[in-house]
Amino acid sequence: MRKQSRIILSGYLLILPALSLIFLILIYPLIQAVLLSLQEVKLASLSRQTFVGLKNYLTVFTFVGPSFFRQVLPATFYFVAGSIAGQLGFGLGMALLVNQKWVRGKDIFRAIFILPWVTSAIVMAISWRFMYEPRLGVLNHLLVLMGATNLPGWLNDLNLVMPCLIIANVWHGTAFSFTLQTAGLQSIPYELYEAATVDGAAAGQRFRYVTLPLVRPFIMINLVLISMYTVNFFDLIYAMTNGGPLYRTEVIAVFLYHQAFEYGHMGRGAAVAVLILIINLLLTLLYMRLNRERVAEQKR
């Protein structure tokens, strides 16, 4: 019994360094953020903190210009949903294409496809902003060459601005999905496709009954990662629109920045950070649950 206790104790001691690091870089800041969210504190006077309980959360929920529930959350989910659909769809599509046996120069394609992912978001934002510029931009210049007269305002148009951002983000993030899906596709033994072909499966059926179930875990991981990444996404939007016009692109990360660093309400900013964490957790739980249900369904 004593020997077993010593083994257990030594096990805990062995993981203590890792746990200490996790505590220092993850748990401690998290606790600090939660505590800060319960304080009234300005960036210009961080040492003066007053405990206000849940007041910062109430202020965030009742904030006007932008309204959290009518503007920030819808903008966030619109951006996240659009980006995920685009990145996942294009990523999988491109991975499927490059994975075809008849494609030559796969390595070159992979290198080219990864380029947007390694491009700095600020450089990318400036490039896209220039393309969308209504008077001098490339897009409207091409439209004029094609004879268009009623030119879109792109980033100035309240209805177009979010799709414009999503397109830019999809261009940026598809490479990550492509890489992950390529890894998934390469893990599928080719014999399975041969067997399916021998059994008379058409291309669509091979995709549905062989490819999709086997890349499913990769899609799930991809979904979780890009969801979290997109919910937290800041730099591209900040540089392209700064949340405007009229808060149409004020996603939650930009909202946090404005509250905490532009207006200096650190407590309120921390409250928004906690809300982002909750959203991320909920999204992850949702995906995990969906995946578990699907796996259970397949086993039945």
Partner 1 sequence: MLDRRMLLYTLAVSVCLVVLGSGVAFAGGEVEQPTTEAQEVTLRIFARAYTWEQEAPWEVAKAEIQKRHPDTKFTWVEEGFGWADLRSKFLTAAAGGNPPDVAQVDIIWVGEYVEGGLLTDLTDKLNAWEHWPDVVDSYKEATKWKGPSYGTWLNTDVRIMCYNKKLFRNAGLNPDRPPEDWNQLYDMANKITSAPAYYGYGFPAMKEEETAMRFFAMTYSGGGQILTNDMKKAAFNSDAGVKALEFHVKMIEDGLTPKSVVSGHYGDIDNAVFQDKFAISYMTKTLGLAKKLIPDLTPEKFKQDFGAALIPKAPGGEYSTMAGGYLLSVPKGAQHPDLAWELISIGAAPDAQYKYTSARGYVPTFFSLMKKPEDYFSVDPFFNVILDSLPYAHFRPGLPQYTEISAAIQDAIQAAVLGQASPKAALDAAAAKVNQLLAQ
Dihedral-angle region of residue 169 (phi above 0 means left; psi in -120 to 50 means alpha; beta otherwise): alpha
Verify binding: residue 262, partner 1, rule CB under 8 A: yes
How far apart CA 34 and CA 28 sit, in angstroms, is: 10
Judged by CB, which is closer to partner 1: 154, or 176?
A: 154
If one asks whether residue 61 binds partner 1 (CB under 8 A), the answer comes out as: no
Read off the amino acid at residue 235: D
The single residue among 33, 52, 96, 151 that binds partner 1, judged by CB under 8 A, is 151
The verdict on 44 binding partner 1 (CB under 8 A) reads yes
Q: How far apart are CA 247 and CA 26, in angstroms?
A: 31
**How far apart are CB 155 and partner 1 at their closest, in Å?**
4
Using CB under 8 A as the binding criterion, the count of chain residues that bind partner 1 stands at 44
**Interaction between residue 33 and partner 1 (CB under 8 A):** no
In the numeric block, which tokens belong to residue 174?
């598809």
Binding window for partner 1 (CB under 8 A); candidates: 4-12, 49-57, 91-99, 168-176: 4-12
Angle between helices 73-98 and 106-118 (to 10 degrees): 160
Footprint (CB under 8 A) of partner 1, residues 8-27: 9-10, 13-14, 16-17, 20-21, 24-25
Contact string (CB under 8 A) for partner 1, positions 170-209, x = contact: ----------------------------------------
- Sheet strands (E) in the chain: 39-42, 45-51
300, exposed or middle or buried, with CB in 10 Å at 0-12, 13-18, 19+? Answer: exposed
Spatial CA neighbour of 227 closest among 282, 180, 172 = 282
Could you say whether residue 52 binds partner 1 (CB under 8 A)?
A: no
Dig out the tokens for 121 from the structure: 């978001």
245 lies in the binding site for partner 1 (CB under 8 A) = yes
- 54 makes contact with partner 1 (CB under 8 A): no
Position 59, amino acid: T
Enumerate binding residues for partner 1 (CB under 8 A). 3, 6-7, 9-10, 13-14, 16-17, 20-21, 24-25, 28, 42-46, 64-65, 129, 133-136, 151, 153, 155-156, 158, 161, 241-247, 258, 261-264
